[in-house]
Amino acid sequence: MANWNEEDHPWVPAGSSEGGRFTTKAGVAAWKAAGPCTRALTQTEIETGYELNTGKAIVETFRQKNLDALEMPAVLVSKHGPFTWGMDVSNAVENSVVLEAVAQMAWLTECLAPLVQPAPGYLLEKHYSRKHGPNAYYGQK
């Protein structure tokens, strides 16, 4: 797996996410959704409280997309880089590794098949819920 700097994620400069192309993240870690990407901060937001406004943009993105931060423990901050978190330090690091792997797979997929469509929501939901949902039956609990 590549060891990219945070600004090297291909979707961060573009202001987009990996777009839900894979079910892998749902099976490897407890991720229910595609990694979202925030909007770009305005010049005023950068000049007056950059760190605070970065956090506000993350919260805004999760609210707008109706995402649960425990089910999607990562976000790409537009024009900046990735943020991950977890239930403890070890889990946060695991989520960072998953984000790196998913970003690499997405980038390689777009290189090979630029017109690839996102996986359907019902498939992403199935892969998440069968391992992490209330009636999980696949893999370890």
- Model confidence at 34, in pLDDT bands (50, 70, 90)? low
For residues 136 and 27, what is the distance between their CA atoms, to the nearest angstrom?
Answer: 11
Q: Please state the domain count of the chain.
A: 1
In a domain, residue 137? The reply is no
In a domain, residue 1? The reply is no
For residues 39 and 95, what is the distance between their CA atoms, to the nearest angstrom?
Answer: 22
Predicted confidence at residue 33, as pLDDT, reads: 56
In a domain, residue 140? The reply is no
pLDDT at 77 over 90: yes
More confident residue, 130 or 74: 74
Predicted confidence at residue 8, as pLDDT, reads: 40
Give yes or no for a contact between 75 and 82, defined as CB atoms under 8 angstroms apart. yes
In a domain, residue 49? The reply is yes
In a domain, residue 27? The reply is yes
Q: Other C-beta atoms within 10 Å of 81: how many?
A: 15
Which of 39-53, 55-69, 90-104 is the least confident region?
90-104
- CATH number of the domain that residue 13 is part of: 3.40.225.10
In a domain, residue 138? The reply is no
Whole-model pTM? Answer: 0.68
Domain span at residue 31 reads 6-132
- Model confidence at 15, in pLDDT bands (50, 70, 90)? very low
Give yes or no for a contact between 82 and 92, defined as CB atoms under 8 angstroms apart. no
